[in-house]
């Protein structure tokens, strides 16, 4: 296994837990961060809160590193318990600029892996944030790029049906290369015929 990676900004007396990723890299993660990852927290509780026990997760080291990077942002901008009340409040607020900036550096595969991983470890704040970013990002993609990204085989009949069902929505053109596009600012991206 690779040498351990330690995430900083914790008190000296805090417990650390060994998390091993699917590519066999070990991370020493402080308890304050583990507590946001409900699945891992439950796994640790099941083995008796043993700090020497190695906890395996089906997440790559690349994605887990991104999760820890998000946690550093989360820690600086959000005071929360990982609960439904906080998540509901976040759904109604725009994403923080720091969060958008870090997600903008992801390609589509990074985004999908981040969603899969945060869903598995049950890190609600991170999962909600990446899903919100993705939904905003998709709003500015043309239909053919959405089809390509999701490998969806949309038939002409389905395309016609959508246009008939949603005649008031036209999608702006969006960049077709590079990383994932930024989500639109409020009022941008989706054009309604009434606004033209």
| pLDDT tens-digit series, residues 100-137 | 899 999 988 999 999 999 999 999 889 989 999 988 88
Final residue of a structural domain among 92, 116, 138? 138
pLDDT value at residue 142: 77
Output 82 or 4, whichever has higher pLDDT.
82
Residue pair 27/4 in contact by the 8 Å Cβ criterion: yes
Answer yes or no: do 52 and 87 share one domain: yes
How many domains does the chain divide into? 2
CA–CA separation, 11 and 33 (whole Å):
12
pLDDT, position 16? 93
Say if residue 114 is in the same domain as residue 157: no
Domain termination site, one of 97, 112, 138: 138
- Looking up residue 76, the CATH number of its domain turns out to be 3.30.710.10
- Answer yes or no: do 52 and 133 share one domain: yes
φ/ψ region of 166 (left if φ > 0, alpha if ψ in -120 to 50, else beta) reads beta
- Do residues 171 and 100 both lie within one domain? no
Is 172:191 a contact under the CB 8 Å cutoff? yes
Q: List the Cα angle 100/98/109 in 5-degree steps.
A: 40
Residue 36 shares a structural domain with residue 73 = yes
Q: What is the extent of the structural domain holding 158?
A: 143-195
Residues 23 and 56 in one domain: yes
Q: Which two tokens stand for residue 162?
A: 């959508």
Where is the domain boundary, 138, 157, 175? 138
Tens digit of each residue's pLDDT (9 = 90 or more) over 71-100: 888 765 555 555 667 677 777 788 888 888
| CA dist list (Å): 88 to 29, 73, 130, 184 | 27, 19, 15, 21
40 pLDDT above the threshold of 90: yes
For residues 21-49, give the mean pLDDT: 91
User: Per-residue pLDDT tens for 129-185?
Assistant: 999 998 888 887 777 777 776 666 667 787 788 778 866 655 443 333 344 555 544
Looking at the fold, whether 85 and 67 belong to one and the same domain comes out as yes
Is residue 49 pLDDT above 50, yes or no?
yes
pLDDT over 80 (residue 33): yes
Q: Which residues contact 61 (CB under 8 A, 6 or more apart)?
A: 2, 21, 22, 23, 25, 27
pLDDT the model gives residue 70:
92
Same domain, yes or no, for 36 and 128?
yes
Q: What are phi and psi of 169, to 5 degrees?
A: -110, 125
Extract the tokens encoding 97. 């600029």
User: Do residues 122 and 25 share a domain?
Assistant: yes
| List of residues 6+ apart from 135 with CB closer than 8 A | 183
How far is 184 from 143, CA to CA, in rounded Å?
A: 16
Half-sphere exposure of 88 (CA within 13 A, CB side): 3
Let me know whether 124 and 165 are in one domain.
no
pLDDT, position 152: 62
**One domain, residues 85 and 102:** yes
Kindly state whether residues 46 and 128 are assigned to the same domain.
yes
């Amino acid at each position: 296994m690779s040498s351990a990676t330690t995430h900083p900004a914790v008190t000296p007396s805090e417990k650390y837990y060994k998390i091993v990723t699917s590519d066999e890299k070990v991370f020493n993660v402080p308890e304050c961060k583990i507590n946001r990852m409900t699945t891992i927290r439950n796994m640790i509780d099941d083995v008796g809160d043993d700090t020497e026990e190695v906890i395996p997760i089906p997440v790559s080291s690349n994605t887990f590193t991104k999760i820890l990077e998000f946690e550093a942002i989360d820690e600086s901008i959000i005071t929360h318990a990982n609960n439904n009340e906080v998540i509901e409040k976040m759904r109604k607020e725009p994403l923080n600029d720091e969060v958008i900036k870090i997600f903008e550096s992801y390609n589509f595969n990074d985004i999908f892996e981040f969603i899969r991983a945060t869903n598995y470890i049950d890190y609600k704040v991170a999962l909600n944030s990446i899903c919100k970013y993705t939904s905003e990002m998709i709003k500015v993609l043309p239909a053919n790029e959405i089809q390509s990204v999701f490998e969806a085989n949309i038939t002409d009949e389905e395309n016609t049906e959508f246009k008939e069902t949603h005649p008031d929505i036209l999608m702006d053109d969006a960049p077709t290369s590079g990383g994932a596009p930024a989500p639109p600012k409020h009022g941008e991206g989706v054009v309604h015929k009434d606004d033209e």
